[in-house]
Amino acid sequence: MARTWILVAFEIECNTRALLKSERLVLNAMQRMSGIATLSSRFAVEVEDLPVKILDTRKTTPLIRFLEKWAVAIGGCTNYRDGLYDWIMIKDNHIDACGSIPAAINRVHEYLAAKDLDLGITIEVRNLVELHQVLEVGRVTRIMLDNFEIPLLREAVHTIAGRFESEASGGIKLQNVRKYAETGVDFISVGALTHSSGTLDLSLKIIK
């Protein structure tokens, strides 16, 4: 006969009507955040002996980003960019809209100077040609190597040679995150921490 195991997460005492009115909201939030924290913990464990940080992204649920990022941190991973205001990200669309990598970087520095801001700058590159263009210009904090296969990522990290921080992104899963980390990259960003974490099944039972 199969056994059913019940894990008690917490016990509370309060007015019954108040409890039942807030039950679903609280459990829904806890289920969602517990799922994120659990997945984050699994990613953190996979690379815990390597000098790399697993980052979340802005792929979060509207209005509750702060809760989801809190859950990521509880799980042992690192929060990255709360919004568009605390770190500059130059992505492929920005580069294409500006016309070139040098133009995009220059526009960012013009903006920072005009607003008297001192923010980190990440630029996304899609291949080694773009990487070399960034290295020629410089003036960034971090280079994000987007959708690089592992051999190419290893070559890119070697080419950067510590002149800038390096970040891997795109297609990184729990099953392959360690291989990406072993390339020597400084950071690995994983949108799945928040957008594909699933939920933990929780329920509330009244004990008489």
Indicate the SS3 state at residue 109: helix
pLDDT of residue 203: 87
The dihedral region occupied by 2, where left means phi > 0, alpha psi between -120 and 50, and beta the remainder, is beta
Distance in angstroms (rounded) separating the CA atoms of residues 41 and 43: 5
Please list the active-site residues.
Answer: 24, 59, 91, 124, 146
Q: Read off the DSSP letter of residue 73.
A: H
pLDDT of residue 2: 67
Cα 78 from chain centroid? 7
Long-range CB pairs of 168-176 (<8 Å, 24+ gap) are 168/144, 169/124, 169/144, 169/145, 170/146, 171/147, 174/39, 174/42, 174/43, 174/46, 176/150
Going along the chain from its start, the domains and CATH numbers come out as: 17-195 (3.20.20.70)
User: What would the two tokens of residue 107 be?
Assistant: 């526009």
Element (H, E) at 165: strand 165-169
Indicate the SS3 state at residue 163: coil
Calculate Rg over the CA atoms of the chain: 21
- Range from 1-10, 107-116, 198-207 that averages highest in pLDDT: 107-116
- Segment 169-194 shows an average pLDDT of 97
Element (H, E) at 90: strand 88-90
Q: Express each pLDDT in 10-36 by its tens digit.
A: 888 888 899 899 999 999 999 999 999
Q: How confident is the model at residue 1 (pLDDT cuts 50, 70, 90)?
A: low
Q: How confident is the model at residue 8 (pLDDT cuts 50, 70, 90)?
A: confident
pLDDT of residue 35: 95
